[in-house]
């Protein structure tokens, strides 16, 4: 049979009983002191680590701000060296670019919109350098052709037209006339 411990307890609470407890004993007081010292040391270490962390953070921020102030601008891009083209090469290149920029879709839409049963469009020749389109039409009567040319020149993307040639000789299939006119394209 084993009995538990009997703790020495008096009628008067020991000094600092809130710290050591109400049971007396040197070992108990020593244990309370050791625990208190360890707790205080832990708190101090935690506070020191927190302060150090804060200082390190501030230092890092200051260093980042200083480095940003001293930031060197990025090196300028090297100048682009254009190849040396001759005048004729340059002209051909520009011509090709102009050809590619001809608004074929709007030209066809406009001509289709003005088409009638009396007029047949025989040729469409763009001149990209001058920004014009030469149109050749055929029809039974010259009036119909002229009427058609007037309508086309007033419709977008054309600005105005210039009559180039009229051919009123009767054709093999009974056509009365052939008309050629030039239209300037609006930019």
Identify which of residues 1 and 71 has a Cβ nearer to another protein in the complex: 1
Identify which of residues 26 and 70 has a Cβ nearer to another protein in the complex: 26
- Cα distances (angstroms) measured from residue 171 to each of 1, 141, 185: 142, 12, 31
Identify which of residues 8 and 100 has a Cβ nearer to another protein in the complex: 8
Instruction: Return the structure tokens found at 26.
Output: 């040197």
Contact region for another protein (CB under 8 A) — 9-17, 38-46, 60-68, 129-137?
A: 9-17
Distance CA 99, CA 89 (A): 15
Instruction: Specify the 3-state DSSP secondary structure of 39.
Output: helix
Q: How far is the CB of 43 from another protein (least distance, A)?
A: 26
Identify which of residues 11 and 169 has a Cβ nearer to another protein in the complex: 11
Contact region for another protein (CB under 8 A) — 10-18, 29-37, 45-53, 134-142?
A: 10-18
Q: How far is the CB of 41 from another protein (least distance, A)?
A: 22
By CB under 8 A, tell whether 7 contacts another protein. Answer: yes
Q: How far is the CB of 1 from another protein (least distance, A)?
A: 6
Query: What is the sign, positive or negative, of the torsion defined by CA atoms of 36, 39, 42, 48?
Result: negative
Distance CA 137, CA 135 (A): 7
By CB under 8 A, tell whether 4 contacts another protein. Answer: yes
φ, ψ of residue 46 to 5 degrees: the values are -65, -40
Distance CA 184, CA 97 (A): 18
% helix, strand, coil for the chain, step of 5: 45, 20, 35
Residues 14-43 binding another protein (CB under 8 A) are 14-15, 23-24
Size of the site for another protein (CB under 8 A): 16
For another protein, the binding residues (CB under 8 A) are 1-12, 14-15, 23-24
């Amino acid at each position: 049979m084993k009995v538990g411990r009997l703790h020495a307890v008096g009628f008067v609470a020991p000094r600092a009983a809130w710290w050591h407890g109400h049971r007396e004993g040197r070992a108990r007081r020593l244990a309370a002191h050791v625990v208190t010292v360890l707790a205080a040391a832990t708190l101090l270490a935690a506070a020191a680590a927190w302060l150090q962390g804060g200082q390190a953070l501030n230092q890092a921020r200051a260093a980042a701000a200083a480095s940003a102030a001293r930031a060197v601008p990025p090196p300028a891009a090297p100048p682009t060296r254009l190849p040396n083209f001759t005048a004729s090469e340059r002209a051909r290149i520009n011509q090709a670019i102009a050809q590619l920029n001809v608004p074929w879709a709007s030209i066809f839409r406009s001509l289709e919109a003005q088409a009638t049963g009396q007029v047949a469009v025989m040729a469409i020749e763009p001149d990209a350098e001058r920004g014009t389109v030469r149109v050749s039409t055929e029809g039974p009567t010259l009036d119909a052709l002229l009427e058609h040319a007037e309508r086309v020149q007033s419709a977008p993307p054309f600005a105005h037209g210039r009559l180039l040639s009229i051919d009123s000789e009767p054709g093999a299939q009974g056509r009365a006339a052939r008309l050629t006119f030039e239209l300037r394209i609006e930019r």
